[in-house]
Amino acid sequence: MAIMELTQSNFDNVVSQHDLIIIDFWANWCAPCLTFTKIIEEVEKDYPEVVFGSVNIEKEKRLAEEFNVKSIPAVMILRDRVVVFAESGALPREGLRELIEKAKDLNTDILREAQKQKARE
């Protein structure tokens, strides 16, 4: 599956239909972003079951604000609609693969319960 351009209009639909999504926040003027995009393009070929999304922060400012993206490149991993990883900076190829494997193995029921308890506090 190719990297999907995520926009304000398609974001909720994409997230609701897929279990695991890797999101790259980037901009055209950001040289490290372009380098990281190449890494993502290589890695996504090995994970056909994972959706890889791309958010251009200049076009999709509201999405970047909603996810509190302060610097780019930034990568976010959503598992069952829960953000399980968010960090600024380009990751190395193997680091990205390792994160994907960890995200695939997560028990999101436990994570959701922890989020509910935190919200109650």
Residues annotated as part of the active site: 30, 33
β-sheet with 82-88: strand ranges across: 4-5, 51-56, 20-26, 74-79, 82-88
- Alpha helices per DSSP H over 1-121: 11-17, 31-44, 61-66, 93-105, 108-120
Q: Provide the CA 55 distance to its chain's centre, in angstroms.
A: 9
Q: Encoding tokens for residue 77?
A: 């991993």
Between CA 47 and CA 57 the distance in angstroms is: 25
Q: Do the beta carbons of residue 40 and residue 22 sit within 8 Å?
A: yes
